[in-house]
Structures are given as C-alpha cells and as structure tokens.
Amino acid sequence: MDLGLSNRVCLITGSTGGIGLETARLLVEEGAKVVVSGRDSERVDSACREAGAALGVICDFVEPGAPEELIREATETVGPVDCLINNVGKAYQASFEEVTDGEWDDLWQLNVMSYVRSIRAVLPSMRERGGGAIVNVSSTAGKRPSTGMPHYSVTKAAVLSLSRLVADIYAKDGIRCNAVTPGPTATAAWLADGGLADQQASKSERSREEVLESVGAGRPLGRLAEPEEIAAVICFLCSERASYVTGSAWSVDGGTVPIIV
C-alpha cells in the first residue's frame, strides 16, 4: 500500500533511539525526507546515518526557543515540515508523595511544553500551505494513570487533551492532529540499565527479568510491544491513507487499557 509519504518532510522529536528511530526508518522507507533530533550530538549523527535521514539536529527540548529553532533549521535545510511527530519524553518510577515541585515541572516542560512549542512553530507554514499532519506520542498512562509514575501519567494525559484541542482548532486549515498511546515497549526506557524494569525491581523483591515477564504477561497479547509496531501506526497517521482521521487517540498497547475509545 502506497502511504503517499514520498518527498514529505517529516520531523521527529526525540528520535535517536526506540520508537522515534524506528519511525524515522519506516518514514525513510516510504520515501519521506526525515529530520531526526535529540540532545546528544553523537547519537543524533548515529541515528541520522542509521535511518538514512535527510538531516539530524541537536536540540534540547526543555529550552524555550529550541523547538522553534529546530523547525527553522529543518525548513531552511530540507523544506517546510509536512508531518510533525512529537515523541520526545521521559519516565521514571516515583511515589506521588516523593515527587517534588521541580520534578513535576521538569516533566511538564519536556513531555508537554516541548510539544506545545513544536506545534506552534509548524502551524504558520502548515496553515499557509493548506494542511499537515501532527502525531503526538502519549501513553496508556495518559488514559489510565500509572500509580508508580504519577507525574508522567499526568503529562501524558495532557498530551491527549492537547492533541484533541489542536485537531479541533485547525481542522478547518486542513491540519490533522492525532495521538498514539503505546503500552510498555521493548526500548531503552524499559530495558536499559537503570531503566523502568530495574527501577521496578529495586522497589520489589523481583529480578528485572521477572519484572519484564510480569509486565509482558499483563498485556492481553502477552508481551511488550516492539518499537516498530508503534512506529507503523505513527506512519499511518501521518499518511494520506489517514486523510479523514483527526482528533483520535490510537491505543497501540496490546489491549492493555480495557476501554473502547
């Protein structure tokens, strides 16, 4: 199936690994001109080579002005952005009582405000050209809060609200905005040393292997997602095949959240 993404300029925030990098690979395979981004220069260069991206940009998304500068550089170097995928973010285990005001704000700036700033930066060009696609990566925790990650859950719920808001406001301009809500995925966030599996293990008497087995078994499909499975849905939502899809929150969670919508 031709997704109609050939020569589309697609920019992905936080795309040096995991879901973001897999999305870059798939979009390049579809003929898109992809811009990858991240904070670490070596990882940006590596991701650019690995995915075959048109451009790699170093960007610290918590810095005001950084997303706007990213969009400007992408536009000047590759072309106006047709598809924006907001993927950057972080998560870690903590109890509600121990999360400080500063930690709440840190996650809000990265997980929400970087999305707001990136969207604001692409809107003028998309409106001028009569359309565009925005996909925001949320989480199952945005639909059903994780008690072990309270501030992460709240920020991901905000991403869902932001996605619907942007969809409602800019549909008349031909701009589509959707969210995806992945469940636990086999990326560094879970699998790396000190990642979520290790964090859960340290708070219990289980090994990291037991944690991962339990988390996988907790999905109706019985396993963690692979990053390319999330990336496939993101690419579809960017594509012409999803031309009548906007304001939605696509669950890509192996059946984790037991709701219909």
Per-residue pLDDT of the chain (261 residues), as tens digits, is 789 999 999 999 999 999 999 999 999 999 999 999 999 999 999 999 999 999 999 999 999 899 999 999 999 999 999 999 999 999 999 999 999 999 999 999 999 999 999 999 999 999 999 999 999 999 999 999 999 999 999 999 999 999 999 999 999 999 999 999 999 999 999 999 999 999 999 988 899 899 999 999 999 999 999 999 999 999 999 999 999 999 999 999 999 988 766
- Contact between 238 and 83 under an 8 Å Cβ cutoff? The reply is yes
Tell whether 151 and 31 lie within a shared domain. Answer: yes
**Inside any domain, residue 25:** yes
Q: What is the pLDDT of residue 260?
A: 65
Tell whether 144 and 197 lie within a shared domain. Answer: no
Cα distances from 202 to residues 92, 116, 146, 156, 211, in angstroms, run 12, 34, 17, 24, 10
**Inside any domain, residue 4:** no
Tell whether 105 and 123 lie within a shared domain. Answer: yes
Tell whether 90 and 206 lie within a shared domain. Answer: no
**Inside any domain, residue 1:** no
DSSP 185: B
Tell whether 80 and 198 lie within a shared domain. Answer: no
Tell whether 159 and 202 lie within a shared domain. Answer: no
Residue 152 known to be catalytic: yes
Sheet holding 249-252, edge to edge: 55-58, 33-38, 9-12, 83-86, 132-137, 175-182, 249-252
How many structural domains does the chain have?
2
Tell whether 243 and 216 lie within a shared domain. Answer: no
- Contact between 239 and 176 under an 8 Å Cβ cutoff? The reply is no
**Inside any domain, residue 260:** no
Whole-angstrom distance, CA of residue 88 vs CA of residue 178: 16
Q: What is the pLDDT of residue 203?
A: 86
Tell whether 16 and 114 lie within a shared domain. Answer: yes
Tell whether 203 and 98 lie within a shared domain. Answer: no
What contacts 23, CB < 8 A, 6 or more positions away? 12, 15, 85, 87, 230, 231, 234, 235
Tell whether 193 and 178 lie within a shared domain. Answer: no
CATH number, domain with residue 240? 3.40.50.720
- Take residue 11 and report the two structure tokens written for it: 């920019």
Say what the pTM is.
0.95
Tell whether 40 and 87 lie within a shared domain. Answer: yes
List 115, 152, 170, 244, catalytic entry: 152
Kindly give the pairing relationship between strand 83-86 and strand 9-12. Answer: parallel
**Inside any domain, residue 256:** no
Tell whether 204 and 151 lie within a shared domain. Answer: no
Q: What is the pLDDT of residue 261?
A: 60
Range of the domain at 116: 9-183+234-251
